[in-house]
Amino acid sequence: MNKYLVEAQALARMGQFVEAGERCRKSISLGKDLVVAKRILAACLYDQGTMLATAGGLFDEAEQCFRQALAAKPDHVDALSNLGVILHTHKNRPDEAIVLYRKALALDPSSVRIAENLAKAEYQAGEFDACSATLLKLARRNPSEAAGYLIREALLVRKVVPDDAYPLQIRASIASKLDALESGDARMASPLRFPSTYFPLSYHGIGNKEMNSRLANIHLKAAPSLSWTAPFIANWKGPGTRIRLGLASAFFHAHSIGNTSRGLVERLDRSRFEVILVRLGASPRDAMADAIDASADRVVTVPADDLQAARETIASLELDLLFYQDIGMEPLGYLLSFARLAPVQCTSFGHPDTAGVPNLDYFISSDFYEVENAQDDYAERLVMIPGAGTLSYYHRPPAVKPGDRAAFGFGGEDRLYLCPQTLFKIQPVMDRIFGQILERDANARIVLIDPAREDLRPALERRLRGVLGDRMDRVSFIQSLAYLDYLRLVSCADVILDTIHFNGQNTNLEAFHLGVPVVTLPGRMQRERHTCGIYRAMGFMDLVADSVEDYVGLALRLANDTEFRGRCSERILRENAVLFENEAFVRQVETALGTMLGERLAEKSAGHRDGAA
């Protein structure tokens, strides 16, 4: 081996990969030891790319290093794999990643890690049949984690529903696969290795209590350690001078959960409560994150990749009550909720669906959100805050000057029907609503927000085009906007179209702040009734429809009858104060939390008496 390569190896050992690569290129330019030089060059470029990606988050630069490594050594398995990770995780290019992963697996068929990444990319690309096959192979290849792969395979649910029949069809498929898991003996040694939640199922307008409870029990059968109990629980005798309350989420930043949690962290009575913020993994740092942290008595961040360490960290706080701000939106919070980390554990509307987890005690809702016998939809005990239009102390959004329609590409004659929800909330019933509006209003423009991620927009466009045909040219997608620009867009709307089966919350509060009317059609479950509950709190029910036909009629009237729209806007502006910075809501939550603790103490006391008898 020539001197340049000897120097290259020495430099690489010191982490000087750029300099080492230069020595390799010198050897190649001289025609010396070409095979070895290319191998060492590929290794240097691979190590440089890995360092750029993991230490610096410099994914563009890392991509180039991995591509150069593959140019030097096309069969470099790790370079193929890591380039795939960059493309599907950080660049939203899963199709390209799939090609790389499959090439890497052809070279190293035994790699579980690469196969797991392939399954994730196939799901992201919408290749569900291929993803299913990959997951089933993984279950056979890695039996200690088989249950995790089989649960994921059972829950291969398309985020954008392709047609009306899909929600029932996919549930029948899931139920059959859960049957097999219940009767089998698949295990899951590391639940965080390849986790899944029920998240996409919550948007279909169908109750999930039975399915989510079955899913939870399958998790417990496959990984009994999930029900771990904090050591202090056995000797807990009730709160001390103050109730030690933990508020837990992975989304305490500029996010819908940050918006709805911030006020509670700030306003809880510190003479009664010690408020500990439990961050589930590191989250983005922004003004919202800083404000929430500054309002807490203490901030604790648990590791996102070590379930037992996360449990032990929370257990060490010896909380009286653990309040998950959301469950089901990400895996760590879901898996933590299986453990008994506090004497009382509850959740609320952050993700408004029952979790079905035995150790989750209460679900906090509003009587304005629930129908009679609503408890039937919850595995948790339902606690209803009376008269709450929103289950948060919600800070009023900033004031903005009215937007300029032309800045968003619209003319003065256009009537803007804005549906600003994330695209997977738009169920097939909305397609028909859009179609009727476009048919009956020649100047109508349906305006949607394009998040520019995953396969959401193309999947929705395919479905919409099948219903709307030529009218599709009056559906406009606006790229995600900076927050103040988004509020200006909302101010331009003639009417906001609330999504059926899963209403808006933050988006509708922002619209009401600006006096922009929202048409809604409530269903049975809480997530279908948020906007109706908000209107009830304002004492204004004129825009709550009782049928699809009524919904369309109200939307058309708002867009075309300026006097009617003006009256509705004035009423909303006059009544919306009840939705923002509502101190009474915080006091009601404090009472509810105290009642939960009282019930837990009574149960504990009764258990001791029964034991003594």
Greatest CA span in the chain, whole angstroms?
A: 91
E strand spans, 367-435 = 381-385, 415-419
Is residue 467 domain-shared with residue 331, that is, in the same domain?
A: no
Place of tokens 């993991």: 54
Count of structural domains, the chain: 2
Is residue 368 domain-shared with residue 349, that is, in the same domain?
A: yes
Q: Considering the domain boundaries, does residue 53 fall inside one?
A: no
Lateral strand order in the sheet of 415-419: 475-479, 444-450, 415-419, 495-497, 518-519
pLDDT at 31: 78
**CA distances in angstroms from 452 to 122, 477, 481, 496, listed in the order given:** 18, 10, 11, 21
Range of the domain at 553: 405-579
For residue 35, give the nearest of 1, 63, 77, 82 by alpha carbon. 1
User: pTM for the whole thing?
Assistant: 0.92
User: CA 592 to CA 245: how far, in whole Å?
Assistant: 13
Is residue 510 domain-shared with residue 603, that is, in the same domain?
A: no
Q: Are 151 and 181 in contact (CB under 8 A)?
A: yes
Q: Tell me the CATH number at 247.
A: 3.40.50.11380
pLDDT at 64: 84
Q: Considering the domain boundaries, does residue 137 fall inside one?
A: no
User: CA 81 to CA 49: how far, in whole Å?
Assistant: 12
Q: Considering the domain boundaries, does residue 500 fall inside one?
A: yes
Q: Considering the domain boundaries, does residue 116 fall inside one?
A: no
Is residue 388 domain-shared with residue 267, that is, in the same domain?
A: yes
Q: pLDDT category, 11, cuts 50, 70, 90?
A: confident
User: For residues 605 and 39, which has the higher predicted lDDT (pLDDT)?
Assistant: 605
Is residue 442 domain-shared with residue 315, that is, in the same domain?
A: no
Question: Does residue 55 register a pLDDT over 80?
Answer: no
Is residue 300 domain-shared with residue 441, that is, in the same domain?
A: no
User: CA 483 to CA 349: how far, in whole Å?
Assistant: 23
Distance in Å from the first CA to the final CA of the chain:
84
Q: Considering the domain boundaries, does residue 85 fall inside one?
A: no
Q: Considering the domain boundaries, does residue 364 fall inside one?
A: yes
User: For residues 575 and 15, which has the higher predicted lDDT (pLDDT)?
Assistant: 575
Question: Over the stretch 259-297, which tens digit does the pLDDT of each residue have?
Answer: 999 999 999 999 999 999 999 998 889 999 999 999 999
The alpha carbon dihedral of 235, 240, 246, 247 has a sign of: positive
Q: Considering the domain boundaries, does residue 286 fall inside one?
A: yes
Burial 127-155 (b: 16+ CB within 10 A, else e): beebbbebbebbbeebeebbbbbbbbbbb
Question: Does residue 14 register a pLDDT over 90?
Answer: no
Kindly state the DSSP code that residue 337 receives in the 8-state scheme: T
pLDDT at 487: 97
Q: Span 524-542, mean pLDDT?
A: 97
Strand partners, 275: 245
Question: Does residue 577 register a pLDDT over 70?
Answer: yes
Is residue 409 domain-shared with residue 379, that is, in the same domain?
A: no
User: CA 23 to CA 28: how far, in whole Å?
Assistant: 9
Q: pLDDT category, 27, cuts 50, 70, 90?
A: low
Question: Over the stretch 290-341, which tens digit does the pLDDT of each residue have?
Answer: 999 999 999 999 999 999 999 999 999 999 999 999 999 999 999 999 999 9
pLDDT at 494: 98
Is residue 371 domain-shared with residue 232, that is, in the same domain?
A: yes
Helix axes 17-29, 3-13, angle to 10 degrees: 170
Share of the chain above pLDDT 90, in %: 82
Is residue 321 domain-shared with residue 242, that is, in the same domain?
A: yes
Q: Span 368-379, mean pLDDT?
A: 96
Question: Does residue 524 register a pLDDT over 70?
Answer: yes
DSSP H/E element including 509: helix 506-513
Is residue 594 domain-shared with residue 498, that is, in the same domain?
A: no
Q: Tell me the CATH number at 503.
A: 3.40.50.2000
Q: Are 114 and 122 in contact (CB under 8 A)?
A: no
Is residue 461 domain-shared with residue 375, that is, in the same domain?
A: no
Residue 229 backbone dihedrals phi, psi, to 5 degrees: -115, 135
Place of tokens 């404090």: 590
Is residue 573 domain-shared with residue 436, that is, in the same domain?
A: yes
User: CA 565 to CA 32: how far, in whole Å?
Assistant: 79
- Nearest 10 degrees: Cα torsion 95, 199, 225, 342: 140
Q: Are 527 and 353 in contact (CB under 8 A)?
A: yes
Q: Considering the domain boundaries, does residue 35 fall inside one?
A: no
User: CA 519 to CA 552: how far, in whole Å?
Assistant: 9
